[in-house]
Structure 1
Amino acid sequence: MNPPALQPSNWSDALVSGAFTVVDLTAQLSSATPVLPLPEGMAPIPRFELEELARYDERGETSYQNGIHTGEHVGTHFDAPCHWVTGIEHGDVSQVPVERLVGPAVVIDKSAEVARDPDYLLTVEDVRAWERAHGTLPAGWLLYRTGWAARSHDQDLFLNADDRGPHTPGVTPECARWLAEESDIVGFGVETVGTDAGQAFGFDLAFPVHTHLLGAGKYGITQLQNLDLLPVTGTLIVVAPLPIVGGSGSPARVLALVPGNVSEVN
């Protein structure tokens, strides 16, 4: 059973009293963070790196600071519509209305299916079956739990690649189109390195989640953690990318507000 919707009259009191728990859905960001190798013909994504500028020394005796070097789409990150050619008219990450970055989130769990088949693809019928059990998808975020976060500490495990490329779960082209055109979701979040399946480069319509959702002015978030701590419904999510002018995306901090104690949720 899902907890009741969170409706505190005073949010600070609710936090102190334990009326809700803040769950961090963000992976730590470092030079070891897995990065998706892109197909031939696409520019590679730079890894995250720190450049030490001062560390309590002659460069700044009282300060420690670094330069940051990274691709926009590294670690837990946000895909803005203009990340894909179909979404050019829907704007960059600095133009995302802030009210779309905070909202209800629901979880669809296919971790058992993915454990049997790492190339498992979410279908329209999967989503419709979820709706029959839990109600219509909200005008918020759909989070796709696959269990893949358990692999995120290791590049090879996370990408799960062989001579045919990565093998990671994703979404069928039909389901990607349905989520973009028929559902009210604002965005789609995954535990994998990208919102599309590892083999999506070879689909009849390559990278259908990017193509359809970003083309519809919706958003993606990737490399999420701790989805197993969230209830199926009743979560409020906060997605916080940097408002990079002209940016196609950004590393993001993603937080979930869950009513009650998370140990009592599932």
Structure 2
Amino acid sequence: MSVLKSLVGAIGDGTVEVIDLTAPLSPATPVLRLPEPFANTIGFRLEEISRYDDRGPAWYWNDIHTGEHTGTHFDAPVHWATAKDGQDVSQVPVTRLIAPAVVLDFAAEAARDPDFLLQIDHVAAWEKEHGPLPEGGWLLYRTGWDARAGDQEAFLNGGHAPGISAECARWLAERSPIGGLGVETVGTDAGAAHSFDPPFPCHSFLLGAGKYGLTQLRNLDRLPATGSVVVAPPLPIVGGSGSPVRVLALVESESGPGESR
């Protein structure tokens, strides 16, 4: 049996589970809010074109109004000044959009301290237990923050949200083999990252190194620490700095074919 036929069969019989890591996209989706004088993105909005009426009797469709960085979205390198000559979202090689993933779970720490920061020592301890970070893969950073996604104020939390220290961000960008970072928060940086040196180090270092970001993920608690594969295809927006994305994870089921996990 071919590899692809085997994969389709495994998905069909439940041997491989497909887990949606994407937050629903609606006008209620939380969006980043920058202080004045900085410009802000718009939220998501549908504008109806027709709905089985005299504007179009047999069809329903909408225009969509949204920012590139609204909801679960993909950050391309050109999003940041450190990679202003880097790839836009349409130039990201498609082979980079399907990659192995690992989950570093620090939800308990973030529950105790909303300003919790991932440090190099945390990553080193995780690698000692689980093995090296995946070459070209995703580091998915679980903080439990997706539980707040239904409430804009709770999600932004007055600028107090977990993230990654500047030193760790630089290490992940320059020393680790990962291809990108995925988080549950509104952006890849901590809520207080504007005060770090440099400001917003995950954006600065990782995008500057030609790596990618995924934000506002959910269901990371359903993934194993190692062994999943993430599929994250953004819209190929020419000149775009990012795009909303439907992020899926493929996970080998712990139960047999046809059984519930």
Q: Same fold by TM (over 0.5)?
A: yes
- Given that residues 108 and 130 in structure 1 are in contact (C-alpha distance below 8 angstroms), is that contact kept between their aligned partners in structure 2? yes
Q: 1:190 is matched with which residue: 168, 178, 183?
A: 183
Residues in 1 aligned to 2:35 and 2:214: alpha-carbon distance in whole angstroms = 21
Residue matched to 2:149: 152
| Structure 2 residue runs without a partner (length 5+) | none
Residues in 2 aligned to 1:8 and 1:86: alpha-carbon distance in whole angstroms = 39
C-alpha spacing 1:104/1:265, structure 2 compared with 1 (3 Å): farther
Offset at 1:41? 3.0
C-alpha spacing 1:210/1:265, structure 2 compared with 1 (3 Å): farther
Residues in 1 aligned to 2:130 and 2:86: alpha-carbon distance in whole angstroms = 31
Residue matched to 1:123: 119
How many corresponding residue pairs?
Answer: 256
- Given that residues 8 and 14 in structure 1 are in contact (C-alpha distance below 8 angstroms), is that contact kept between their aligned partners in structure 2? no
What is the letter of the counterpart of residue 72 of structure 1? E
Residues in 2 aligned to 1:216 and 1:144: alpha-carbon distance in whole angstroms = 19
Offset at 1:240? 1.3
SS in 1 for 2:84: helix
Q: Which deviations, in whole Å up to 9, do the C-alpha atoms of 1:78-125 show, x marking residues without a partner?
A: 000000010122210000001101010000000010010000000000
Two-structure CA RMSD over aligned residues (Å):
1.7
Q: How does 1:21-40 map to 2 (within 5 A)?
A: 21-40=17-36
Percent of residue pairs identical: 62
SS in 2 for 1:246: coil
1:70 aligns with 2:66: yes
| Structure 1 residue runs without a partner (length 5+) | 1-6
What is the letter of the counterpart of residue 173 of structure 1? A
Residue matched to 1:3: none
Residue matched to 2:38: 42
What is the letter of the counterpart of residue 142 of structure 2? R
Residue matched to 1:143: 140
1:209 aligns with 2:211: no
C-alpha spacing 1:265/1:60, structure 2 compared with 1 (3 Å): closer
Q: How does 1:32-111 map to 2 (within 5 A)?
A: 32-111=28-107
Residues in 2 aligned to 1:152 and 1:13: alpha-carbon distance in whole angstroms = 34
The ranges of structure 1 where at least 4 consecutive aligned residues each deviate by more than 3 angstroms after the TM superposition are 261-266
- Given that residues 20 and 261 in structure 1 are in contact (C-alpha distance below 8 angstroms), is that contact kept between their aligned partners in structure 2? no
- Given that residues 177 and 212 in structure 1 are in contact (C-alpha distance below 8 angstroms), is that contact kept between their aligned partners in structure 2? yes
Offset at 1:205? 1.1
Offset at 1:265? 11
1:245 aligns with 2:242: no
TM-score normalised according to structure 1 size:
0.93
Deviates more, 1:256-265 or 1:151-160: 256-265
- Given that residues 26 and 223 in structure 1 are in contact (C-alpha distance below 8 angstroms), is that contact kept between their aligned partners in structure 2? yes
Offset at 1:15? 1.1
